[in-house]
Amino acid sequence: MSKSINIVESTVVPINIENIDTDQIIPARFLKATSRDGFGKNLFRDWRFENDDENNPKKDFVLNNPTFKGKVLVAAKNFGCGSSREHAAWAIKDYGFDVVVSSFFADIFKNNALNNFLLPVTVSEDFLQQIFDAVQKDADTEIEVNLENQYIRIVSTGAQESFDINSYKKTCLLNGYDDIDYLLSMKGEIEAFETKKN
Amino acid sequence: MAKTLFDKIWEKHVVKNIEGGPSVFYIDTHFIHEVTSPQAFKGLEKRGLQVFRPKQVVATADHNVPTLNQHLPIKEELSRLQVQTLQDNCKKFGIELYGLGHPYQGIVHVIGPELGITQPGMTIVCGDSHTSTHGAFGTIAFGIGTSEVEMVLATQCLMQSKPKLMRINVDGELNKGVVSKDIILYIISKISASGATGYAVEYAGSAIRNLSMEARMTICNMSIEMGARCGMIAPDQTTFDYIKGREFAPKGDAWDNAVAEWQTLYSDADAKFDVELNIKAEDIEPMITYGTNPGMGIGVTGHIPALTEIDEKEKVSYQKSLNYMGLEPGADIKGRKVDYVFIGSCTNSRIEDLRMVASFVKGKKKADDVEVWVVPGSKQVEKQAIEEGINKIFEEAGFILRQPGCSACLGMNEDKIPAGKYCISTSNRNFEGRQGPNARTFLASPLTAAVAAVTGKVGDVREFI
């Protein structure tokens, strides 16, 4: 897993579908592994392949269309709803994406993404539509995502929007810090809290 | 200042507030299972860490277990390895495991409450989104990812931002044939699969108060299906009566002290919520879903929305969903053929659910062309069902009573619905492929599922009672 993230400039893979749940991102039957690696090959498994057959890709699905590639996945609202499986974030990251753009993310997915240095960028419905339109017109459309300055830009049109992220998480992502490192540094305070609580 | 139920529990568990960021939030009880924990234990080992508070962690095997012949080794190699890995990790790190063969084994959200581990005022997490179930006891309970499982194992804490607060009041009398599953399916159909994202939801009102603990659990369980961070119900006498005497419930003086504390857990009269919704219990009819997210629900006598009723921007997703389901916009749902009936999952696999189904099917037979699986939520539920003779009623009806586990809720273990087949299911998700590749799911209450078991079709339970 590559740690720390700041500026990503890339073409995009668009999936203009709402409510993409984590069962679509990685079906449960692929959750039997005991390591974090290798989930990318089963990303969107049942949308990608006919009858679960890797030799039989569904031609109309975007991941099977060589026109669309890049490090930025763009999807319609309520992305990552459903199961808490972090395997969904692992699969997206392992496939090669660094950023997911949507107008709305499910809570648990968003946390899981952040914990894996996969940046979820929430944009307005209008801006999301602008991205879909731009990519529809020209598949080579590039998107620039700048975490430090908190903006996302469609390079060809110059359209730009700022996005929110809490400052703690931003620092973590920019510097490659994990929550767990921070929590471990709090052990003394946690023990004191326990004593007081009981 | 007036406080909500959520505020009261939240404030007692904040170790530290960080400026511009989340809080260091203390977790009382951590449930783990075989699927979302192995990578967390691996992470601990990589860092050379121990489990910080092993006595506050409880483990079971549920997602990836077979529901027939549980005494035999698990056939599928990867599943067997995953269950074995949980066993090894629990042994190594000193965690209590209610694994296969243990009289307490079962679905994690069934066993926590039934053992009295889940208690009002607690903070509870698990690497499973349906952890919201435990909120029925007046807890802050939510699902987490595996990195967070690792954090809680290592420090008993998480970094959490305080969510916004929503209260949903359901007042009045429920119509006959309408049960708690219908209430929550109705709410989600009104506010959509993302309508509560970013919120902690408190359910209140007379119709909620009148529910049993098991019925309340069904409601809180599905809070995540509208995106809520958690769902909760203030504890009351019904809650205390349910907990009293259970294995891990406080005893003697500790019980009295606990109840006194629990009685302070309610939203003050003038507490403020960011959003408040009011629902009339009388408006709810037996519900069923027709699409591929839990927000796509209608009353059983209703029709699937026509394309003209769908927002222009949502039409592509809507049509994709109905294509998957093999259903036409504008069509009736009642009378649709059903191939499988699944009664189980952390939503509806408790003894009251099984009793509800049994009371309906007693003396009846299942329809010839329907397969009916009943999967109890735990070994204790299974035992109780046998003691009450419910297993006999099911046998006579031609149902198969299987052994405890998540089963056909998630298409992970052996129990899958075949491609193209329709399953009426008491579980919580109707996502594409959820019950198996290309399987089609209708979510409904145990009663509506029982009607389908007997008639082979989607029907209106009110015509039978």
Q: What is the mean pLDDT of residues B294-301?
A: 98
Give the model's pLDDT for residue B19.
82
DSSP for B90-149, please give it: HHHHT-EEE-TTSTT-B-HHHHHHHTT---TT-EEEESSGGGGGGGGGS-EEEE--HHHH
Using an 8 Å CB-CB cutoff, list chain B residues near A52: 437
In a domain, B70, yes or no: yes
In a domain, B297, yes or no: no
Q: At residue A47, does pLDDT exceed 90?
A: yes
Distance CA A24, CA A29 (A): 11
Give the model's pLDDT for residue A70.
98
Q: What is the mean pLDDT of chain B?
A: 97
> Is B52 within 8 Å of B90 (Cβ atoms)?
no
Give the model's pLDDT for residue A198.
82
In a domain, B2, yes or no: no
Residues B13 and B97 in one domain: yes
Residues B337 and B421 in one domain: yes
Residues B124 and B178 in one domain: no
Residues B131 and B215 in one domain: no
Using 50, 70 and 90 to split pLDDT, how confident is the model at B313?
A: confident
Distance CA B389, CA B159 (A): 47
Residues B34 and B175 in one domain: no
User: Is B230 annotated as belonging to a binding site?
Assistant: no
In a domain, B136, yes or no: yes
Sign of the CA dihedral running B223, B227, B230, B234: negative
Using an 8 Å CB-CB cutoff, list chain A residues near B194: 19, 77-78, 81, 104, 106
pLDDT digits (tens, 9 = 90+) for A104-163: 999 999 999 999 999 999 999 999 999 999 999 999 999 999 999 999 999 999 999 999
In a domain, B67, yes or no: yes
Residues B49 and B198 in one domain: no
In a domain, B361, yes or no: yes
Q: At residue B264, does pLDDT exceed 60?
A: yes
Q: At residue A1, does pLDDT exceed 60?
A: no
Q: What CATH number is given to the structural domain containing B206?
A: 3.40.1060.10
Q: B275 has which bridge partners? A: B166
In a domain, B293, yes or no: no
pTM over 0.90, yes/no:
yes
In a domain, B290, yes or no: no
Using an 8 Å CB-CB cutoff, list chain A residues near B143: 84, 108
> Is A135 within 8 Å of A16 (Cβ atoms)?
no
Domain boundary among B143, B160, B177: B160
- Residue A144 CB-density burial (10 A; 0-12 exposed, 13-18 middle, 19+ buried): middle
Of B18, B36, B314, the CB nearest to A168: B18
Of B18, B129, B317, the CB nearest to A108: B129
Domain boundary among B160, B190, B205: B160
Which range is least confidently modeled, A3-7, B39-43, B104-108, B219-223?
A3-7
Q: Mutation test of the interface with chain B: which of A31, A34, A191, A197, choosing the one with the most B Cβ atoms within 10 A?
A: A34
Residues B149 and B169 in one domain: no
Using an 8 Å CB-CB cutoff, list chain A residues near B85: 34
Using 50, 70 and 90 to split pLDDT, how confident is the model at B393?
A: very high
Q: At residue B321, does pLDDT exceed 90?
A: yes
Q: What ipTM was assigned to the predicted interfaces of this complex?
A: 0.96
Instruction: State how far Cα B278 lies from the chain centre.
Output: 23
Sign of the CA dihedral running B392, B245, B26, B94: negative
* B392/chain A closest Cα distance in angstroms: 33
Residues B97 and B236 in one domain: no
Q: What CATH number is given to the structural domain containing B338?
A: 3.30.499.10
Residues B132/B136/B139/B145 CA torsion (nearest 10 deg): -10
Q: At residue B20, does pLDDT exceed 80?
A: no
When divided into structural domains, chain B yields a total of 3
Using 50, 70 and 90 to split pLDDT, how confident is the model at B21?
A: confident
Q: Mutation test of the interface with chain A: which of B13, B27, B47, B197, choosing the one with the most A Cβ atoms within 10 A?
A: B197
**Pairwise CB contact (< 8 Å): B194 & A183:** no
**Pairwise CB contact (< 8 Å): A190 & B147:** no
Domain boundary among B109, B137, B160: B160
**φ, ψ of residue A92 in degrees (nearest 5):** -65, -45
pLDDT digits (tens, 9 = 90+) for B410-441: 999 999 999 999 999 999 999 999 999 999 99
Using an 8 Å CB-CB cutoff, list chain A residues near B39: 34-36, 86
- DSSP state at residue B18: -
Q: Mutation test of the interface with chain A: which of B129, B133, B191, B296, choosing the one with the most A Cβ atoms within 10 A?
A: B129
Domain that holds residue B397: 306-463
Q: B83 has which bridge partners? A: none
Q: Nearest residue on chain A to B160, judged by CA atoms?
A: A111
Give the model's pLDDT for residue A2.
56
**φ, ψ of residue A108 in degrees (nearest 5):** -70, -40
Q: Nearest residue on chain A to B130, judged by CA atoms?
A: A83
Residues B208 and B242 in one domain: yes
Neighbouring residues of A27: CB distance < 8 A, sequence distance ≥ 6: A42, A45, A46, B411, B433, B437
Sign of the CA dihedral running B60, B64, B70, B71: negative
DSSP for B223-241, please give it: GGGGT-SEEE----HHHHH
Q: At residue B9, does pLDDT exceed 90?
A: yes
Residues B194 and B140 in one domain: no
Sheet hosting strand B123-126, strand order edge to edge: B96-98, B57-60, B29-32, B123-126, B140-143
Using 50, 70 and 90 to split pLDDT, how confident is the model at B162?
A: very high
* B96/chain A closest Cα distance in angstroms: 20
Residues B344 and B356 in one domain: yes
Residues B193 and B233 in one domain: yes
